[in-house]
Amino acid sequence: MANSVFQVPYPRNEAILTYAPGSLEKDQVLAAYAKMYGETIDVPMRIGNQDVKTGNTEIMCPPHDHKHELGTYHVAAKSNVKEAIDASLKAKKAWSQMAWESRASIFLKAAELIAGPFRSIINAATMLAQSKNIHQAEIDAACEYIDFLKFNAAFMQEIYANQPKNEKGVWNRLSYRPLEGFVYAVSPFNFTAIAGNLCASVAMMGNTVVWKPSDHQVFSANILMQVFREAGLPDGVINMVFGDPEMITNTVLESPDFAGIHYTGSTEVFRNIWRKIGTNIECYRSYPRIVGETGGKDFIIAHPSSNPKEVATGIIRGAFEFQGQKCSAASRVYLPKTKAYEIIEFIKKDLKSIKVGSPENFDNFINAVIHKKAFDRLVNAIEEVKKNKDVEIIAGGNYDDTKGYFIEPTVLVTKDPQYITMKKELFGPLVTIYIYPDIEWSKTLKLVDQTSEYALTGAVYSQNRYALEEALNELENSAGNFYINDKPTGAVVGQQPFGGARGSGTNDKAGSAANLMRWVSPRLIKETFVPANDYRYPFLE
Ligand code: NAD
């Protein structure tokens, strides 16, 4: 054991590469993309020290080219899930007793592997698996994930350094134990960084994990597992299983050693999981930690004092980047009557220049939505709009799934602020605008607050400081991440800790020490140097 108080390297946000024409990074990522596209792979689960192939497989296809097979992955039987739980429990003692700086070192190495030799590979995998253009892949799979790993190591040190005060003759120490048992990580399709962070943040704090990625992210999850292994993560610390989410979850939740869940995904699934944990509560050794970041119905509201071009740009980027499949994507917009026409004209003009297609072609700003179910959900919403006289499609509204699941960026204007697309998370490139009379600014703030069950992100555009103050107060509980004169997406680790309340989650702020605190159970150690040797206090004399 080293006799030293170590200092984690000071974390800085990873610089975003440009992928401009002629750049080395562009050549490298396109070469990696072509190689992966041209081969077919067979992805095993990873349980303990085994690559597990059950023979029961599913096919992986790029959403923008759904007839092309990238390969297969093996899905778990109940017995495999039990093996993953056993493997995580077996690995727990050695892992939790490893010096914290050694654990940090493994994940810092993983960050450098992604920043260097794995950068083009993880970006290409994310482009193929989740249909992200290169910029979206770079800010997610490379930069955000590198940031999560580096900042979390620093947050871990910050947490461990936080110690109680001492009075004379006593030394009080806090030891930040990992949770007793194992943790279950369940990740969504939309961010490679979130998938990697849900399992790695928990493991960094000394826990072992059963990780179930989304069926629609297995291709890039497989690269994350390769990175963990190359970084030196011991077997059994993160066990990766694929397959029927309900069966896997039920099996995990039956275990008395289930210590917590780190979940990101839709609200309804999270509520069901919470219900099941409640039903099983007597069977657990400890009260499980429940951390869930879930859906959103994120807003932009513009004040009459706002700058129309800035608002239009916020809407285009906030609503349509990654096909609107960000939990933070703007999907309901409130424009003042006097500025609405100008803002809408800017939006229409921008949309005319936006191309939809494969991420391999760098001209395309918009790519495919993730799967057929998502495509059908969005097509249904668009077709419903066409039948409703209270809503009008002012841009987009076309779709085509011949080759990939492509939906044109679509803008609706509604006369009914309670119309379904103002309330329900649709998770696609579809944004609805409601135009309010300028004098109803205050009333409209109330409307923004009360329209949806979610409270994830929101943005207000205004040049009037009193209006901003009013919005800050009136919308205090409407968004966990609140943006002033900026789009509501694109939170950066270490700068904008991310999460929302109400129907949007437990708001444990991914990318902050607050999140890591959920994965420890502090033990207080009080040591008295000269113990008392007479029970009588002076007042008894
Ligand atoms: P999803 O709910 O379909 O899936 C999320 C995860 O839950 C996947 O691993 C899936 O396999 C699993 N799952 C599905 N059904 C399950 C069941 N019955 N029991 C247990 N697990 C089950 O979500 P998605 O389509 O992958 O991701 C999109 C959703 O995630 C959106 O609602 C979005 O807002 C949300 N999201 C939220 C955040 C955030 O930080 N708040 C970030 C990203 C995504």
- Specify the residue with its C-alpha closest to ligand 1, atom 18: 246
Dump pLDDT digits (tens) for 194-215.
Answer: 999 999 999 999 999 999 999 9
Residue 327: active-site member: yes
* Closest ligand 1 atom number to CA of residue 216: 26
On whether the 298-484 domain is CATH 3.40.309.10, my answer is yes
Ligand 1 centroid–CA 114 distance in Å is 25
Confidence (pLDDT) at 1: 58
> Measured in Å, how far apart are the chain's first and last C-alpha atoms?
50
The residue whose CB lies within 8 Å of the most ligand 1 atoms, and thus the one to mutate among 294, 378, 508, 515, is: 294
Q: Rounded CA gap, 537 and 541, in Å?
A: 8
Determine what percent of the chain is predicted with pLDDT higher than 70: 100
262 CA distance to ligand 1 middle (Å) = 12
pLDDT digits (tens, 9 = 90+) for 338-396: 999 999 999 999 999 999 999 999 999 999 999 999 999 999 999 999 999 999 999 99
Tokens of 537: 């206090």
Residues with beta carbon inside 6 Å of ligand 1?
186-191, 194, 212, 214-215, 245-246, 249, 264-266, 269, 272-273, 293-296, 327, 425, 427, 456, 498, 504-505
Residue owning the nearest CA to atom 22 of ligand 1: 245
pLDDT band at 2 (very low <50, low <70, confident <90, very high): confident
What is d(CA 313, CA 320) in angstroms, rounded to the nearest whole number?
Answer: 11
| pLDDT for the residue 344 | 98
Atom of ligand 1 nearest to the CA of 248: 20
**Residue 400 in 3-state DSSP?**
strand
State residue 322 phi and psi, 5-degree precision: 45, 40
> What token pair was written down for 210?
């059963």
pLDDT band at 501 (very low <50, low <70, confident <90, very high): very high
Per-residue model confidence as pLDDT tens digits over 365-379: 999 999 999 999 999
Q: Please, which pLDDT band fits residue 24 given cuts at 50, 70 and 90?
A: very high
Task: Give the percent of the chain with pLDDT over 90.
Answer: 99
- Report pLDDT digits (tens) over 417-429: 999 999 999 999 9
What is the architecture, at CATH level 2, of domain 26-178+190-252?
3-Layer(aba) Sandwich (3.40)
What is the 3-state composition of the chain as percent helix, strand, coil, each rounded to the nearest 5? 40, 20, 40
Q: What is the mean pLDDT of the chain?
A: 98
> How far does residue 380's CA lie from ligand 1's centre (Å)?
21
Instruction: For 119-135, write each residue's pLDDT tens digit.
Output: 999 999 999 999 999 99
Question: How far apart are the C-alpha atoms of 505 and 515, rounded to whole Å?
Answer: 13
433: left (phi over 0), alpha (psi -120 to 50) or beta: beta
Per-residue pLDDT tens digits for 148-167: 999 999 999 999 999 999 99
**What distance in Å separates the CA atoms of residue 378 and residue 355, rounded to the nearest whole number?**
19
Q: What is the pLDDT of residues 43-96, one digit of tens each?
A: 999 999 999 999 999 999 999 999 999 999 999 999 999 999 999 999 999 999
**Per-domain boundaries in the chain:** 26-178+190-252, 298-484
Q: Which of 74, 300, 321, 299 is nearest to 191 (CA)?
A: 321
| Number of neighbouring beta carbons within 10 Å of residue 227 | 23
User: Mind giving me the DSSP string for 135-188?
Assistant: HHHIIIIIIIHHHHHHHHHHHHHHHHH------TTEEEEEEEEEPSSEEEEE--
